Amino acid sequence: MQTFLLMMLCVLSNPDSELIAVRVEEGPTIDGRLDDPIWEQAQVLRCTLMQYGPDYGSPMTEETEIYILYDDRHIYFGFHMDDPDPSTMMDALTPRDNYVTGEWMAILLDTWGNGREATSFEVSLSNSQMDAKVNPNGHWDYSWDAVWESGTHSNSQGWSAEFSIPFSCLRFDQTSETQAWTVNFQRILGKTHENGWYVLSEAQQMAQLETFAPIIGIEGIEGSLGAEIRPFSSSRFYHTADPDEWETDLNAGLDVKIGVTSGIAADLTVYPDFGQVEADAAEMNLSHFELFLAERRPFFLESRSTFQMPFNMFYSRRVGAVAPNGDVIPIIGGIKLSGSLGSGIHFGLLDAVTAEVSEDTIPVTPAANYGILRIMKEFGPYNYIGLSAVNKDIWEQDEFSESYNRAYALDGALLIPGNHVVDAAVARSFNTDMESDNAYRASFDKVRSNLSYGAGWEYVGEDFDVNGTGFTTVTGGWESWGHIHNTILPVETFSRIGFGGGVYYSELNTGEIVGRNIDVDVNATLKNGAYFGSEVRYSGETFDPYEGPEGHTYSDRTSFHAWAGTNQFDDYFVSGNIGAGQFDCEGTFQNYNLSFRMKPSQALELRLSGNWFSTRDTENYNWSAGDWDTRRTDWKSLILRAGYIFNPDMHLRLFSQYSRFSMDYTLSDESESSDITANLLFSWQYLPGSMFYFLVENLFEEREEGGFGTPDIGCYAKLTWYLPI
């Protein structure tokens, strides 16, 4: 009741609460000052945004003015953010798509007005930019980048911001004379950590798309079907210490984005080069399965939400993966079509060709073609039916015979009364020299609520395998799960308190139980942003089919985890977590992680994190000794990240890691490996959308006699040009 009255008070204090876009012949100069005479034509809305945090439902302490204009090619937003003491405003200088504490203003545009997807454009006081795609579940995907213009300016009453967003980077219904766009605005007030919204979501996620406010007055506009061409050239010089050799590579390629229709875009890449992408951090892996690595390459990040499929049918790191000899499999070219066909139909089509990898003229990995298709028909923010198809083809070549990996899936979801979503999926795989097999999944979840709960079930057949294009682990069994979690906000000194628990059970077709556990957790966030929480898990007796020649049964076990941290958006941030208890393979484990971040100046940021994970007296099969044995493992990692921001378009970034792993069996000698990696990357956006990268990388490996030898050193440079047509 109190929240409702506060929201009504905000509306009543601003009777002219409609958002009206005014058409002009020519837009303003974007310098952040709002003093261009054209802004006088806008209908100004002065309002108080409502807090999502730290005091949910309370008005922000300062007011905001909103202006909206548009012409034939752009939509313009202007804002003035009141602040009675501008000297306390925090300049958030950061690389693109990297949030830090400070003053921010964000626009979330739903250009179809149907609550299915929004596009966010965010600017800080220092004119650092962020942009993202936002889905109905409140997930922000910052891998999407567009070329748009912004400007900011501080004055004695606060600060102002101007946005110029070209229609060419938006998708909307061009068959309609009048646009039914909706919008929401977010303001961050750095010194008080206030997170305010024009339309406050009653659900737990910050942005509830279907409740956005309409923009009135946008008529007679057309999107651009032009092209964006990004040719690039790169050079790489690499010196290996053993043997003492230099390698030189010169490359050139092309990335193209073409507007096919108002709702469809095509992305084309020829000989793509991802040398500027930060290397993956080394991780410990004691499981029987490969690590699932996050995608970092721009071609695959673009529209990646479109290609999300059931049963992990598409894992983009399969394309251009690492060959058995350690070389990266080169991608010859790729094309991607994605967008909307209207009437709620969305699709994504990707095709990529990879080259053969050889070592000393001996073929290691064959050339292959990957084809990925995803189509969805949406009936609302949560209702949809989808079709997925994946295919990897290897044609006959050198020492490799013809083979294929294919899979198809049908999935869908339905929002039923009470904000509950029921979803289901069925898939079938087809692989060379394997029987075809199926997978099934069904789940039930509560959405749009601080009280969330759900349950689900999944079955994967013995011969169901999508590892040609996706990521498959355990097969030939079923699993089920359930969870419930409640969030209370706000309460006294806390901005939110959460607690809940879950259950999990998994069984093979042969009857062995491979997973069963119960966990209970509690977490809390204080009004000052500090947080803490803990979890206790009990796991029953289970069977591991991959340990030893015939598998092994392990007894029940209990583990505990706890975590805490200061406000993650403060200039100085400390966090840590600990874990201890009985390990999955008998014995015990301990895990300690500590992270520290400091921002001593607006331009400099340092991050240091350390991790120690160890196991003792576990029961494992020693394949070297051919018998069951007890094992000890020890993993240590120390990562240093540093960044220096010259301006929003130019920055220097360092990533360095020391890692050490040792494993000791009772019946055999101890094994140990250590290395140090370091990458220093300079990035410069010398023109909008055009980038220059220069990278220096080092790898120190531990010598058998101890210590670290001469490092492998590489230098890499890449230049891209953005050419809009």
Q: What is the pLDDT of residue 225?
A: 60
Count the Cβ atoms, other than its own, within 10 Å of residue 18: 12
- Whether residue 536 is contained in a domain is answered as no
- Whether residue 593 is contained in a domain is answered as no
Give the mean model confidence (pLDDT) for residues 349-371: 92
**Percent of the chain, pLDDT > 70?**
95
- Model confidence at 359, pLDDT cuts 50, 70, 90, reads confident
Q: What is the pLDDT of residue 531?
A: 95
> Could you tell me the CATH number of the domain that includes residue 145?
2.60.40.1190
Amino acid at 625: A
Amino acid at 40: E
- Residue 172 confidence (pLDDT) above 50: yes
In 3D space, the residue among 244, 293, 298 whose CA is nearest the CA of residue 276 turns out to be 298
- Whether residue 680 is contained in a domain is answered as no
The answer to whether 105 touches 81, Cβ cutoff 8 Å, is yes
State how far the Cα of 721 lies from the Cα of 691, in Å rounded to an integer: 7
- Model confidence at 13, pLDDT cuts 50, 70, 90, reads very low
CA trace torsion 315, 319, 322, 325 (10° rounding): 130
State how far the Cα of 118 lies from the Cα of 111, in Å rounded to an integer: 7
β-bridge pairing 64-70 and 22-23: parallel
State how far the Cα of 161 lies from the Cα of 164, in Å rounded to an integer: 10
- Model confidence at 11, pLDDT cuts 50, 70, 90, reads very low
Give the mean model confidence (pLDDT) for residues 111-132: 91
- Residue 50 confidence (pLDDT) above 70: yes
Higher-confidence position of 580 and 381:
580
Looking at the DSSP bridge assignments, the partners of residue 714 are 238, 697
Q: Is the dihedral of CA 296, 299, 304, 307 positive or negative?
A: negative
The answer to whether 90 touches 138, Cβ cutoff 8 Å, is no
User: Which tens digits make up the pLDDT trace of 484-525?
Assistant: 999 887 767 888 899 999 999 999 999 999 999 999 999 999
The answer to whether 90 touches 102, Cβ cutoff 8 Å, is yes
Q: What is the pLDDT of residue 638?
A: 97
- Whether residue 425 is contained in a domain is answered as no
Amino acid at 689: G
Please, is 605 exposed, middle or buried when counting C-beta atoms within 10 Å of its C-beta (0-12, 13-18, 19+)?
buried
- Whether residue 434 is contained in a domain is answered as no
User: Which tens digits make up the pLDDT trace of 250-262?
Assistant: 888 888 888 777 6
Give the mean model confidence (pLDDT) for residues 566-579: 92
Annotate 397-440 with DSSP letters as a single string: BTTB--EEEEEEEEEEEEEETTTEEEEEEEEEEEETTS--EEEE
User: Which tens digits make up the pLDDT trace of 299-343?
Assistant: 887 778 889 999 999 999 999 888 888 888 989 999 998 887 877
- Whether residue 195 is contained in a domain is answered as yes
Backbone angles phi, psi at 451, to 5 degrees: -100, 110
Considering its fold, how many domains does the chain have in total? 1
Domain that holds residue 52: 2-216
State how far Cα 506 lies from the chain centre: 28
Instruction: Determine the 3-state secondary structure of 653 from DSSP.
Output: strand
Q: What is the pLDDT of residue 66?
A: 96
User: Which tens digits make up the pLDDT trace of 590-603?
Assistant: 999 999 999 888 88
Instruction: Determine the 3-state secondary structure of 168 from DSSP.
Output: helix
Count the Cβ atoms, other than its own, within 10 Å of residue 718: 21
Higher-confidence position of 174 and 678:
678
What pTM, to 2 d.p., does this model score? 0.81
- Whether residue 657 is contained in a domain is answered as no
The answer to whether 439 touches 311, Cβ cutoff 8 Å, is yes
Length of the chain equals: 725
- Model confidence at 265, pLDDT cuts 50, 70, 90, reads confident
> What is the number of H-type helices and E-type strands within the chain?
2, 44
Name every residue whose Cβ is closer than 8 Å to that of residue 630 and which is 6 or more positions away in sequence: 587, 617, 618, 619, 620, 665, 666
Q: What is the pLDDT of residue 275?
A: 67
State how far the Cα of 390 lies from the Cα of 371, in Å rounded to an integer: 6
Q: What is the pLDDT of residue 706?
A: 66
In 3D space, the residue among 467, 355, 356 whose CA is nearest the CA of residue 406 turns out to be 467
Annotate 49-77 with DSSP letters as a single string: PEEEESSTTSBPSS-EEEEEEE-SSEEEE
- Whether residue 346 is contained in a domain is answered as no
Give the mean model confidence (pLDDT) for residues 450-467: 95
Q: What is the pLDDT of residue 14?
A: 42
